[in-house]
Amino acid sequence: MVQFNFDMLGNLPRIDKYIVKIAAAKKKRKKVIVIGSGIAGLAVSIRLKTKGYDVEVYEKNENVGGKLSDFYIDNYRHDFGPKLFTMPDLIEDIFKDAGVNIDDYFK
C-alpha cells in the first residue's frame, strides 16, 4: 500500500487552495462598462445591476438620457428627441426587475 503525502507534490499548489480560489472567484462580481446613457444604456445598466454585475456608465454629454434630454436657449426649453413612450410595458419591466415602484416616478 502506498501512502500519499501532499509534500510529494513539491511546489505544486494543494487542491484545497484551488477550492478557496474557486469560491472567491464565484463571490467576485463581474464588471461591465456601458458606453452612453441614453434610454438603451440606462435600461441595460439597470438590468445588469439587478443581475449582480458592477456597472459603470460613461457619457460624453453633460446630461444623461440621450434623446430624452433637453436643453435651454434664451430661456426656451428644447428637446433632443421625442419624449413619448410607445411601449410603456418595457419601462414597467425595468422598474419591476429593479424592485422599484414605477408609480413613485410616473403619474
**Mean residue pLDDT across the chain:** 77
* pTM as predicted: 0.64
Entry field: residues in the chain: 107
- So what's the pLDDT on residue 21? 53
pLDDT tens-place string over residues 64-89: 888 888 888 999 998 888 777 778 88
Q: Rounded to the nearest 10 degrees, what angle do helices 88-98 and 39-50 cross at?
A: 30
Cell of 90: 418595457
- What grid cell was written down for 9? 507534490
Tens digit of each residue's pLDDT (9 = 90 or more) over 11-31? 444 444 454 455 555 567 788
Nine-digit cell string for 38: 441614453
